[in-house]
Amino acid sequence: MKAGASKEQEPCPVCGRPIVRGPSADRHHWLPRSRGGRDSEAIHVVCHRKIHSVFTPKELASEYGTPEAVRARPEIAAFIRWVRRKPPEFVDSHAKPKK
């Protein structure tokens, strides 16, 4: 990292907290790679795990391919209210991803 460069990036598209490079940051394909997705976006690991514990790749490809659609799901909205109280570097585990 260059001198004077900030570790913080843009806000997470799911929870809105700043993304800090390191073990708490990940990349998410809004169109799953298994469905032909190529583009990815920075996201918190905890948010990424939550998305994949709630949605199947088929659901992500057909109905939940945007941050707005994901945030509209009640289970994700409750998660966001909870995770917003955590520091940006917070990492937790969730249920295993749906197949």
Q: Where are the domains of the chain?
A: 9-83
Residue type, 7: K
Q: What's the CA gap between 92 and 78, in Å, rounded? A: 16
Q: What's the CA gap between 27 and 30, in Å, rounded? A: 10
pTM of the shown model: 0.83
Contact 46, 23 (CB under 8 A): no
Q: Tens of pLDDT along 56-99?
A: 999 999 999 999 999 999 999 999 999 999 999 998 865 555 55
Structure tokens at 43: 């996201």
Q: Tens of pLDDT along 11-30?
A: 999 999 999 989 999 999 99
